[in-house]
A and B are shown apart, each in its own frame.
Chain A
C-alpha cells in the first residue's frame, strides 16, 4: 500500500448565494496516495473542481480538515494554515494546472515557468533557468518558449502550464480539467505528458469528465452531490507485462471505466 500524502476528514464546502447556503461538498473523507495518478470524476456541478481547489489549498474548506503529509510523521491541516505558510507549500510542494492554462499574459512561456522557479528562495537562478529550458524543450516547446502566451496554441500553453507546475518538483501535481479546452491532438499530447510524469513517480490529482483522460489514472474517484460515491482501481497506464507490452490496452481501460461509470448512473 502506498503512503497517504493528503487526507481529508469531514471536509465541507459551502457557498452562500442570495442568502441561501449551497453545500457543494458534504463531509468528504478521502485519501490521496503518493505516486498515484488519482482522477476525480463526476457530473457537471458535482463539486469536483471545488474538491480539487480545497485539496490543493487554492481555496479553503468551510469545515473539516485537509491534512497534507509534508513528511512521513507530521501532517499539516492546510485549512488552518496562514497565508505565508500556504504560499510556501504552493511554491515547493504543490503544482497546479488550470483548465484555462492561466499563464501570466505579459511573460513569455519561458519566463512563466522560470518565475515560478525563482519563487523558491533556495533555488539558484541559473539552475532554474536551465531547468525551465529543459522542461520546455522536453515538452516540445523549444521553438516557441520566447513567445508570449497569446502567440502560441492552446496545447502549447497547457504544456507550458504543466512545465510551470513541475518546475519546483512538487510532491503533488493538481490538474483541473487540463484537456478541457484542447483539441484531440493537443489532448493526447498533454495526457502523454502527465502519464510520463506519473511514471517518473509524480503524484497527480486530476479532475476530468473525459473518459479518455480518466483512464490514464490508476485510481478513479466518483463525486456525486458533494460526496465520494465510487472508487475504481486500475493498473498504472504504462504497467508492462513480461513481454514488455502494456498490460491494459486503451480499449480495455476505457471499457472498465465505462462499466464503472454506468454502475454509478453517470
Chain B
C-alpha cells in the first residue's frame, strides 16, 4: 500500500500544505510554545493574527511568482513549437507550427466536429469514473473495516491493480462487444483500483490513538466508524479519486483508438491516417488541456475535504 501513497507525490501536484510558507508557520507555532506558554492565550492570538495577515500578503505576491515559475517551461515549449518548424529545424509537415494547429483547432470547434468528439469522450470518462466512485468507495470501506477480509483480498487486489487495463481490453471486447459498454467498463476498471486501494488503506491506517481515544469515550463500532474512521480516511480516499480522474481520461483514449467511431482518441487516430496533421495536433491539445483541467478540479475538491491534513 506504500506505493499508493507515493502516487500522491506526482509531479505538478503541489499542495498548499507542501509549501515552505506553511512549514515556517508551523515552526513559528512551536517557537511560541518555547517562548512561554503562560500567556499563550493572548500571545498566541496576536501572533496568529499577524501571521494570518502576513500569510495573506505574501500569498498574492507568492502566487504571482509561482505562476511565473510554473508557466515559464510551458511558454518555452510553445515558443519552440512555433519557431522550430518555421525555421525548418523540424519538418513542418509532421510538426506544423503551433499557430497552424490552433487555427485547425478553431475550425474543428466551429464546424462542430470537435464538440461532438469531446462530448463522446467526456460522457464515457465521466460514466466510468462516476461508477467507479459509487461502487468502489463503499466496497473499500467494507473491506478496510473487516481486517481479515482485507488481509485475504489485498494480494488479489494488488495483482489486479498491476494488470494493466489495456491488457484486458481484448477481454472486455470479447465479452461485451465493441460498443459503449466496453469503453465504460474499461474506464470503470482502470479507475476502480486507485480508489479501492486508497479507500482500504485510508480506513486501515487511521491513527490507533484516535480510535483508542474515541473508544475510551464509550463509542460503539458503528459510531466509531461514522465519527472517526470515515472522516480520518477522507483525504486518502480523495487521493485515490484524483488519481482515478487522471486514469479515466488516459485509458479512454486508448479504447477510442482501438474501436470507435467517435471520441477524441478516434479523432486523433483518424486525422493522422488521413494526413490531417494540424487536426491531429488539435485533438492532442484538447486532450491534454482536458486532462489538466479535470485534475485541477479534483485537486480543488480534494483540498476542500482535507484542509486539516498537514502532513
- Are A and B physically bound partners? no
Residues of A within 8 A of B (CB): none
Residues of B within 8 A of A (CB): none
